[in-house]
Every structure is written in C-alpha cells, then in structure tokens.
Amino acid sequence: MLLTAILPALLLAGTVPAIDPAQAFGRREEIEQASLSPDGTKFAFLGPRTGQGSALYVVDLATDSPPAPHAILVADGDPERISSCRWAANTRLVCSIYGITSLGAAGLGYTTRYVAVDSDSGNLKLLYQGDSSRQLGFSTFGGRIIDWLPDEDGAVLMMREYIPEASIGTRVAQTQQGIGVGRVDTRSGLFSRVESPRDGAWEYITDGRGNVRIMGVIATDSGGYSRDKTKYMYRKKGSRDWEDLSIVTSDGAGFDPYGVDPDEDVVYGLKTLNGRKAAYKIALDGSLKETLIFAHPSVDVDRFLQIGRRGRIVGVSFATDRRETFFFDPELRKLAASLARAMPTLPLIQFVDSSVDGQRLLIWAGSDTDAGRYYLFDRSKRELNELLTVRPALANVSLASVKPISYKAADGTNIPAYLTMPPGKADAKGLPAIVMPHGGPGARDEWGFDWLSQYFANRGFAVLQPNFRGSAGYGQDWFAKNGFQNWHTAISDVDDGGRWLISSGIADPKKLAIVGWSYGGYAALQSAATEPGLFGAVVAIAPVTDLDLLREESRYWSNYNQVSGFIGTGPHVEAGSPARHADKIRSPVLMFHGTYDRNVGVRESQVMASRLKSSGKATLVTFNKLDHYLNDSEVRSRMLSQTDSFLRTSLGISP
C-alpha cells in the first residue's frame, strides 16, 4: 500500500549500530537513487524500508546542516515499490511505482504507474488516466517520462498507452490503440495529447525542449508477438512528417538512437564498427550524414553520458579494466580531471544530476573499497561538499581491493577477470576460494564495489569473477551466440577460472566452490553437471535450470520470439539444461529463489531440486513474494549467512 508520511531517517555515517558481516553486507544501499532540484537547493533520494519497501527522502541543502533527510513518501513493497524519483519543479517530485502480483495460472503480473508529490508530502497525484470500464483490456504500462520540460513549472512529456473501448452504448468510444505522448501537469494531473497513439510504437525521443524528434516502432506478427527488429523514424526541425532513420535488429545491427542535440540538430546513437559498438551521430536535416564520434579498439562503447534537466549528451562511457569516460564537452572534461585529482581514492566519478543553470552538480564517487558517496559541487564557488554515504553500515569494516587479472582458457584465449582477496592477504596461498560468474549472460563484471564478493572476501575466501566468452562489452566475437547457445565455451571458461585459482596456488583444490546469480546460477549448476567434482560446493541464486522451461516462461508475453531466438533450438538445449543432467552432479547444492521472480521463474529451481532430491545433497530456499533481485535486507543477510555456513560445512572450513 502506498502511503505518505513524515518520518525521521538515520542515514548519516556513524548512526548505524555495529552488526555482523552478513547483516552489514546484506543491507540494502541507504541511497538507491538520487536527484537534485532545478534550483539546486534540495536533494532527494530513495532509501530502504522494511522488506522490499522504500521511502522518498528530501534534504533541504539551504537549511539542513548536516543533511537531515525527511521522508515524504513511503511504499511498503507489497506490492507497490518505488523505483525512481526526480524533481519536476523546485517543490514537486515525480516517482515511478511498480508492483508484481500473482495472476494464478497465468503467472505474474507487472504494473507500473507514476505519482507526483510535493516536497512537503502534500498533493499526492496519480499521473495516469484511469482505465475505463469500457476498455477492451487493462494497461500494465503506466507510462514513461521522456522530457522534464525545464522551461515549464511542473509539467512533463509522458508516453502513455491507449486501449480501445467497446462502442456499445456510446458514441464517444476511444478507438485508437498503441503508445502516444502527452503533456502532463504534475500538480493537477491534467493530460493533453502531443502525439497520437500508434500501434507498435514503443519509444519516443525528444530534443529536451518539448519536441518529439524520434519514434521507434516494433511490428508484431499475427499472434501478437513482437518481431525481431525496430524501425526508427525522425522529424526535421519544425516538421510533423516522419522520415526513415534506421532499422535495429535483435542481434544489435543498425544505428540505435539514444538522444537528440537540438543545437547541432543531430541524434546520437550506437552502431557496430569492426565488431564492437561505437558512438555515432546522424544529422537530422534530411541529409542523414553519419559521423563517427568515438570507438574503442578493445571494448564496446555501452552508454552515453547526459547531464542537466534537458538530458544534454556530453560524452560516452565504456569499461576496460575499469569504467572510463570520454567527454565531448571540454569544460566537463576539465572538471572531471580536477575532481579526480581532488578525490584520488575514489576514481569512479559520475555526474548524477545538475541544477537548471548547471552551476550545482550532484556527484557520486566510489571505488572497489568504497560503495560510494554523494557530493554537491558548486561550480561558481569551487566547493565540494559530501552529502551522504551509500553504505554507512560498512564504515568500520575492512574491505578488500579488487585486482583486474586475466587467465588462459584451455584453447589459449586470455579471459579477463577480477580477483578479490581477503583483506590483508594479497599474497596468500591455499585459500578457500569461489568462482563467481555474473548474470546475463548479456552482461559483464566491472571493477568497483560488489557486496557479494566483498562479503565472501571478508569471510576469508578469494573470489574470482570471470568475464567468460558470452559476456557483453567485448564485442560481437566475444559475445558469440550468447552464453546459452554457446554454453560449452562459456562454462569451459568459467571452469578454467577455477583451475587457474588452483594452478596459481591461490586456492586449496579441496576448498573451491562456485556461486552465481541468475545466469551465474545456471553456470554454477551446468559446471557441476559437466565437470563433476571440480567445485566442492555449488550455490545458485535464481538460476536457469532448463532452457526450454525458460523459453516457455515467455509464451504469453509479446517478447516470446526474442526470448526464443536468444535461447535457440537444437542439441544445445538438451545438453545445456542442467536439470536434465542432475544425476551427474556430485557436489552439494544450495539454491535460493523468490516466488515472484519474473526474470527466471521459481519453477526452474523447483524442478532442479526435485531431480536432485534422490542425492540428498540439494537444498532449496524460497522467499515468498520476492522477485529476481531479492531486494530485502533481512533476506539478503539470511542468504549470506546461510551460504557461508553451507560453504564451510561442504568444504570442511572451520567457522
């Protein structure tokens, strides 16, 4: 249930009492998302509550010294949860709310909505034109804000879904269908149409000045499933006519637009160059002149950097051994270099938000041994002031440094990875160790703070996080057919990481385990089935266990064709489904899964547990009404504590 409240918050460093490691590392981040008011005088952020609940806090930077957060909006997480909030005006915020509910035999439902609230907790307003009793369906999509209209006080441009109405008994039935765009007054909730709905439209991009310039359309087949390509169209300045821009396919081919610069009259986007994603811009004057902006020879450019309430694109970002940035804006490039010199122990720096005039910047900075802290930088005064830390519970806990390394796979390929050693044991030998493959598989691990690896390092384990072939970020050849269709190579790379830990002397071969979440959980189980005995204990959190079962979970959703194509068909489905080879697993297995997991259904773990039952070595722990991310401090703490106990018992490690 969504509530308003004025509640105190104990979020400053030093206010959280000493707790055990599982509680300290399992605790959700005290700042989950943050933003700065248009005039730069107020700071808002989301912080955790009991269970999956969250609260929106506001700090008045002009009067609160030290910062004194005040809660103005609370969601208890059952089912409503707050996912993000941003200022629509100096005294008005807009928050995205979502909820997951059971639909019985139909599975799980996921509904999003937007609400607006004053910074003093007044005038709570739902920004959605309610469903009509005549509608021929129910919209789970509550819209998406695409322009914060900084020149208007509290209005936004918002995508919304139109559903046709039954015409019986009325002459004014709404007959249009699809996604359109409207201007919403966040104080009154009044909605005025800007773009008529178009069937298949799923994305609109503005120029940050209230003009819709880009539209993306996905066609559907006769069964209602989305096809595997998106057609993008654009408008010239001052025109209402749509013209062809690009076609992007499900395998990533084509120019994928990201944002428009109205002064240059260009659209920025990503496109493959020599097998890796690179940053381009295309002129929107009708010439469609394409210009390469930045490409890296070894990794993909994976995001654009935006700043300010207009979302001005100022650079690109990519991850080599560490996350790096390339700024187009010379002033920001100089400022970033200056901040790096001022905070040498916090090399990961992000511009989170700014005031309308750009003079006040909200900055996040962190490292491998610091989960991050927020700062306010006043450009005119050249003052940098710390606001709040992300994980104050770890203020007095020794954290482990993370080292980029590489090891050779069986075929001689160098596999990039990150090694986290227990604090104070950088050169130790014969340690208990964990290989921890990431989720995805279309993802990768990066250098920085990771609460899972840090917890295990704190408990005395060396942790290896491999970016196996099938990981994203290293180009198309590295990604190959993805970690499911090319599972043999991906899992072999993961296994070779374990062998490297042993051959290098870091790991005691009798005390080697594998722990993974999502695809990482799949990799842990698949490794246990194909290389029995390499890992003495297996922990799988929300794992995929059967590829056909994963495919069927999308059967009644519009993205079924994309999911099915990603998994593929053929012999790899049988060979690559660990639940079908459970009899080959010799090591003890511990699994965790949320019953409201929409990414990987809980049935995946239930099937695996039932097939491992005869071995007597499998334990499945389910968490009621939790989703894929287990976003509950108490649950995460229990999971860490139980995992630590399981690993020590299975590997013969003393407490």
pLDDT band at 171 (very low <50, low <70, confident <90, very high): low
Q: What pLDDT, on a 0 to 100 scale, did the predictor assign at position 11?
A: 42
The answer to whether 267 touches 245, Cβ cutoff 8 Å, is: yes
Q: How far apart are CA 536 and CA 652, in angstroms?
A: 10
pLDDT band at 169 (very low <50, low <70, confident <90, very high): low
* CA neighbours closer than 13 Å in the CB half-sphere of residue 569: 5
φ/ψ of residue 514, rounded to 5: -130, 135
> In angstroms, what CA-CA distances link 459 with 344, 398, 654?
28, 11, 11
Q: Residue 202 burial by CB count (10 A; 0-12/13-18/19+): exposed, middle or buried?
A: middle
Task: Name the least confident of 43-47, 131-135, 319-323, 391-395.
Answer: 131-135
Query: Looking at the predicted structure, is the pLDDT value of residue 13 above 50?
Result: no
With residue 139 as reference, give the H or E element that holds it.
none
Q: How far apart are CA 125 and CA 156, in angstroms?
A: 14
Please give the average per-residue pLDDT across 122-146, as a whole number. Answer: 74
Please give the average per-residue pLDDT across 184-202, as a whole number. Answer: 92
**Could you tell me the pTM of the whole model?**
0.93
Q: How far apart are CA 181 and CA 196, in angstroms?
A: 7
Q: What pLDDT, on a 0 to 100 scale, did the predictor assign at position 2?
A: 37
Query: Looking at the predicted structure, is the pLDDT value of residue 408 above 80?
Result: yes
With residue 8 as reference, give the H or E element that holds it.
strand 7-8
**Peptide bond just before 330 cis, omega within 30 deg:** no
Q: What pLDDT, on a 0 to 100 scale, did the predictor assign at position 167?
A: 54
Query: Looking at the predicted structure, is the pLDDT value of residue 175 above 90?
Result: no
Q: How far apart are CA 512 and CA 527, in angstroms?
A: 13
**Concatenated DSSP letters of 34-52:** EEE-TTS-EEEEEEE-STT
Query: Looking at the predicted structure, is the pLDDT value of residue 84 above 50?
Result: yes
Query: Looking at the predicted structure, is the pLDDT value of residue 3 above 70?
Result: no
Please give the average per-residue pLDDT across 314-326, as a whole number. Answer: 97
Task: Name the least confident of 17-21, 123-127, 450-454.
Answer: 17-21
pLDDT band at 15 (very low <50, low <70, confident <90, very high): very low
Task: Name the least confident of 20-24, 169-173, 298-302.
Answer: 169-173
Q: How far apart are CA 516 and CA 494, in angstroms?
A: 11
> Each residue of 222-238: pLDDT tens digit?
565 566 789 999 999 99
Please give the average per-residue pLDDT across 493-510, as a whole number. Answer: 97
> Each residue of 240-268: pLDDT tens digit?
999 999 999 878 889 999 999 999 999 99
Please give the average per-residue pLDDT across 55-67, as a whole number. Answer: 87
The answer to whether 542 touches 597, Cβ cutoff 8 Å, is: yes
Nearest C-alpha neighbor of 154 from the set 199, 203, 92: 92
Q: How far apart are CA 653 and CA 646, in angstroms?
A: 10
Q: What pLDDT, on a 0 to 100 scale, did the predictor assign at position 9?
A: 38
Packing angle of the helix pair 451-458, 633-651 (nearest 10 deg): 50
Q: What pLDDT, on a 0 to 100 scale, did the predictor assign at position 178?
A: 85
The answer to whether 507 touches 501, Cβ cutoff 8 Å, is: yes
Q: What pLDDT, on a 0 to 100 scale, did the predictor assign at position 235?
A: 97
Mean pLDDT, the chain, whole residue set: 91
HEC assignment per residue over 65-100: CCCCCEEEEEECCCCCEEEEEEEEECCEEEEEEEEE
Nearest C-alpha neighbor of 496 from the set 537, 467, 525: 467
Better-predicted residue by pLDDT, 65 or 12:
65
Beta strands in 274-333 (DSSP E): 276-283, 290-294, 301-307, 312-319, 323-327
Query: Which tokens is 305 given?
Result: 């950097």
The answer to whether 452 touches 520, Cβ cutoff 8 Å, is: no
Domains and CATH numbers, the chain: 402-650 (3.40.50.1820)
Share of the chain above pLDDT 90, in %: 80
Please give the average per-residue pLDDT across 440-458, as a whole number. Answer: 97
> Each residue of 274-287: pLDDT tens digit?
999 999 999 999 99
Q: What pLDDT, on a 0 to 100 scale, did the predictor assign at position 617?
A: 83
> Each residue of 516-547: pLDDT tens digit?
999 999 999 999 999 999 999 999 999 999 99
Q: What pLDDT, on a 0 to 100 scale, did the predictor assign at position 1?
A: 33
* Bridge partners (DSSP) listed for residue 512: 433
> In angstroms, what CA-CA distances link 269 with 206, 213, 246, 294?
14, 14, 11, 11
Q: In b/e form, how buried is each residue of 204-240, taking b as 16+ CB within 10 angstroms?
A: bbbbbebebbbbbbbeeeeeebbeeebbbbbbeeeee
Q: How far apart are CA 285 and CA 287, in angstroms?
A: 6
pLDDT band at 211 (very low <50, low <70, confident <90, very high): very high
pLDDT band at 18 (very low <50, low <70, confident <90, very high): low
Q: Which residues contact 36 (CB under 8 A, 6 or more apart)?
A: 42, 43, 44, 87, 352, 353, 354, 355, 360, 361, 362, 376
Query: Which tokens is 546 given?
Result: 């059967």
The answer to whether 189 touches 205, Cβ cutoff 8 Å, is: no
The answer to whether 606 touches 27, Cβ cutoff 8 Å, is: no
Q: How far apart are CA 464 and CA 417, in angstroms?
A: 7
Q: DSSP secondary-structure letter at 579?
A: G
